[in-house]
Amino acid sequence: MRSPSGSWTPSRSRARGSVFRQPKIEYKTVEQMLVMREAGLVLSRALDSAVAAAQVGVTTAQLNRVFEEILREAGATSNFLGYHGFPASICTSVNEEVVHGIPGGYALQDGDILSIDGGAVVRGWHSDSARTTIVGTARPEDERLSQVTEDALWHGIAALASARYVGDVGAAIDDHVSSVPGPALGILEDYVGHGIGTEMHQAPDVLNYRSSARGPRVRGGLCLAIEPMLVQGGLETAVLDDEWTVVTTDGGRASQWEHSVAVHDGGIWVLSAVDGGASRLEPLGVTPVLPAA
């Protein structure tokens, strides 16, 4: 793909254990993190509205309009629209589409599994988040796929609270997915999480799997977009003729969940969650702390 890092481009470290260089990391001040939280809260509201609108018969283009209206009302802008030519403010990935699905005339059908990925910018600072929802009547295997992906995200975020290296996040995601009983789910390796701040995609890459490449040390001021993508079948993917939409080659369904997270001297805070992640992190032994100005 055409972007420099993150889920919009294949990982530069597909093989487990390979070593790769990263450009310089942008560390944020507390004041900057608080602006990123503003962007995250706007984004959360916009995703709430888009997910609520995802009903049978609604087109993905209509979801994009719902999302854009919330951003306009808040005075925020989209960081997806126009990014390397991307034509919409959200990605809508349906069924075997893993990421980067372009909103259009497709009308959602009963039983579709849909990932909505979006971002917002407030005063030059970015947020990025994604959710999976199931339209109408859910298949049990799709509910499981989405739930495991979401739980894996929160295990990765919880690991960040005490991580020495960014690679500890991917290890925690991998360990959780591997521990879930039942049919194995695959962790997509071609697309990864990323740093976020004055740009949507920054160093470092955030792998969603265990690797001997530990990544940079975790320290205050680090902000990451963590985004596991899981599939029901094989890991092989292809990009459609629109040059954006990534699909599984075997037709296996996919799920994506994502949050932007800040590390500061007092702990971590999930910038794109209304409660900072408390409801999901406290059962995992982590209490998020809002950065103090």
Residue 219's nearest CA partner among 200, 195, 237, 239 is: 195
- Round to whole Å and give the CA distance between 131 and 188: 16
CB 136 within 8 A of CB 110: yes
Longest dimension (CA), the chain: 50
Secondary structure class of 291 (helix, strand, coil): coil
Does 264 appear as a known binding residue?
no
Residue 227's nearest CA partner among 170, 158, 142, 144 is: 170
- Round to whole Å and give the CA distance between 82 and 161: 34
**Read out DSSP for 89-140?**
SEEEEETTEEE-PPPSSPBP-TT-EEEEEEEEEETTEEEEEEEEEE-SSPPH
Contact partners, residue 214, CB within 8 Å, separation at least 6: 165, 166, 167, 168
Does 176 appear as a known binding residue?
no
Angle at 160 (CA atoms; ends 159, 165), nearest 5 degrees: 105
Does 128 appear as a known binding residue?
yes
Does 201 appear as a known binding residue?
yes
Amino acid at site 31: E
Contact partners, residue 184, CB within 8 Å, separation at least 6: none
Bridge partners for 256 per DSSP: 229
> What is the DSSP code (8-state) at residue 211?
-
Does 258 appear as a known binding residue?
yes
Specify binding-site residues: 100, 117, 128, 194, 201, 227, 258
Which residue ranges are tagged as binding site for substrate? 100, 201
- The binding site for a divalent metal cation comprises 117, 128, 194, 227, 258
